[in-house]
Structure formats: structure tokens, C-alpha cells
Amino acid sequence: MPMSRWVMQISIIITLATESAYSLMIHRLGSDQDKETQIHMTTCLSGGGSDESWVKGWQLLLKNSGGGDVVILQSDKSTHGYADWLFLNPDQNQFPRLNSITTISIDSKSDSYNPEVLKYLKEAEFIFISGGDQSAYIQYMANTPLEIILNSHLKNKTALFAGTSAGMAVLAGIDYRARYSSPIDPDSLVTSEDVLKDPTGQFVDLSDDFLVPQFMNHIITETHFGERDRFGRIVGFMANALFRKFSNYSQIKAIAADAGTAFCYNERGQGQVFGEGSVYFLNATTPPEILRSEQPLTWKGNEENALEVQIVDQSSSVFDLVTWKSKGSVTNENWWVEQGLLYRKTQ
């Protein structure tokens, strides 16, 4: 066996010859040799914002990775400080020592075919998808060797997965791709008002053919939930999934996380919330009453209970994705929509 070489930092810039040349950024800290470790499957979904707010979730992820090789995927040629935060000063946050951490910026379809990128992903024990642009992630990674490797890890449970903001968006069973702006304001993101006024519109941009972690079938995710008032948006997304026949009302569910907050679950689908906010778990009780093209949504249910919503924070003990029930303290609400307006009441 060759002697392993310890490298404190490797920055690799690969220039690829295309019609307009660009550079693939790979930034690595740690050993240049792969280290296989025993892992304990964990998946974390973070609503964006401060990662330090849910640092206990990071501690869990890194511990369960066995101190192996971590890959950070992003799409903007910046390390976002993850490598330094996780690797250079782990004692500050009680992180375990890692064999390596590699940051890779996926900026084109070609990057998802690059042998160096594929090598690091195959060797990874933990893959984290950072925030940014989920439409770029899907555009550049879908139907490529990179996606094959990610799906192999998911199927064979050979790597932990986590994502924040856009990264959480693509770790759903039904993804919001976010390729369009608001139909009212081209300079703004799609809002709750937009979606509830026309949940079937093209700008309600869902797909169900990308990565699907365990227990995430028929589940839509939403991020930056409370701070950006996306309560109505996630309900409209659920309605759109029914309109497109991605799911039926008895199966469709959603997980929405506040910024600075994450839900981390194990291989049995049992998990807990970390961070400063809440995570919302939604399921439908009836199909929408009015779900037609270019018409406001009406989804009232039998007694204004179209959607059952469980609001969980870090004081709760466990949420079970299999039973869709919390085993700790939880706030229960009923939500419904009438003529494009969302209403909420506590049970």
C-alpha cells in the first residue's frame, strides 16, 4: 500500500476547451488519499441562512460520516467558507477530524462528466449541496454521470446527504426548479400571491425526475419559509403537483424549513429539528375544490381542514416520516385556501 500524503490545501483549476473556455474549480483540504469509513445514514434538510444556527446538526452529520471524505457541491466558484469552517478549526464547534473536504463548483453540464469530479464524489462519505440556484443544479447535473453517482449513493446508502436552501430544494421527491420569475414583477422571485392566484401557471416550476432521497417520495420542500412568507407558496406547489399528476391528494406532502433551521433524519425516517426556527410538515386531507388553469385556488376541505400542518421546533423529540407524526411537543394547525387566499387556524 502506498504511503498516504497529507496535504493541507490543494486548489485545482481545470481549464476545459469549449467554445468559450471556462475553469472548473475544485478546492481540497486534507489528505489526497481516499479513506473508507463506517457511516450511519443521515439526511439533513436546511432552510438556508446561517449554518451555525444548526451546528448540532452538522456535528451529527460529521460524526455519522465517520470522519471520512466530504464533498461540497455548489454553483458559483466560491468556497462559502465551508471548507475552513469544517476542517481547519473543528474544535471550535466540536466537529470530528475529517480525512478531507473537497469543494466543487458545478457551472456547466461538462463539469458533471469530469473524471476528477466523479472520482471525488465516488469516494465521498458525505455530500452537501449548498445554496444558490436549484435550476442550475438540475440543469447541469440531471442525466449525467454525476447524477448516476449521487443516485448510487442514495440507493446503496453509501454516503450521507444534506442540502441548504437550493440544496434542500433538490433533495425533494418533487422539486421546485425556480427557472421563472414572478409573473407580476420580472425582477422578483415567485411569491405566495403569485402561486395561489394561478397554481397551474408555468412559473410554478415543478419536476419529479431528479434526486429522491429515502422517504422523500411525493414530498415537496420549501426554504426560507417564515422570513419570506412562503406559506401560501408551498400550498400552491402541492396543488400544482396534483394538477400535474405527480401525486394524489392522499400521498402529497411537504416539508418547509425556516432559515437557520434544519431537519435531520436517520435510515428509519426518524429525525429531529435543529436551529432557531421551525420546520412545517404538511399533508392534504382532501383534493382541491377548484384547481383550474388561470383561476385562483380553492382548497377548503371538509371543515376548513384541507391541509394538516405540524409545526416542529428543536424542543420536539422526534418526527417520523413514515407515520408522519411527531413524538414530542408540536403545534397543530389546519390550513385552507379560498379564492386564492390562505387561512390558518390552530387545532
Residue 99, CA atoms < 13 Å, CB-side half-sphere: 21
pLDDT score at 64: 98
Closest CA to 9 of 77, 101, 94: 101
pLDDT score at 347: 87
pLDDT score at 79: 61
Q: Which residue has the cell 458545478?
A: 106
Per-residue pLDDT 10s for the chain (347 aa) are: 333 334 445 444 443 433 344 578 999 999 999 999 999 999 999 999 999 999 999 999 999 999 999 999 998 777 668 998 999 877 888 999 999 999 999 999 999 999 999 999 999 999 999 999 999 999 999 999 999 999 999 999 999 999 999 999 999 999 999 999 999 999 999 999 999 999 999 999 999 999 999 999 999 999 999 999 999 999 999 999 999 999 999 999 999 999 999 999 999 999 999 999 999 999 999 999 999 999 999 999 999 999 999 999 998 889 999 999 998 889 999 999 999 999 999 98
- Rounded to 5 degrees, what are φ and ψ at 293? -55, 130
Query: Under 8 Å CB-to-CB from 155, ≥6 apart: which residues?
Result: none
Cell of 192: 405566495
pLDDT score at 81: 84
CATH of domain 25-30+53-163: 3.40.50.880
pLDDT score at 329: 85
The angle, 0 to 180 degrees and rounded to 10, between the axes of the packed helices 115-123 and 145-156 is 10
pLDDT score at 17: 35
Domain ranges in the chain are 25-30+53-163, 172-347
SS (H, E, C) the chain: CCCCCEEEEEEEEEEECCCCCEEEEEEEEEECCCCCCCCCCEEEEECCCCCHHHHHHHHHHHHHCCCCEEEEEECCCCCCCHHHHHHHCHHHHCCCCCCEEEEEECCCHHHHHCHHHHHHHHHCCEEEECCCCHHHHHHHHCCCHHHHHHHHHHHHCCCEEEEECHHHHCCCCEEECCCCCCCCCCCCCCCHHHHHHCCCCCCCCEECCCCCCCCCCCEEEECCCCCCCCHHHHHHHHHHHHHCCCCCCCCCEEEEECCCEEEEEECCCEEEEEECCCEEEEEECCCCCECCCCCCCEECCCCCCCEEEEEECCCCCCEECCCCEECCCCEEEEEEEECCEEEEEEC
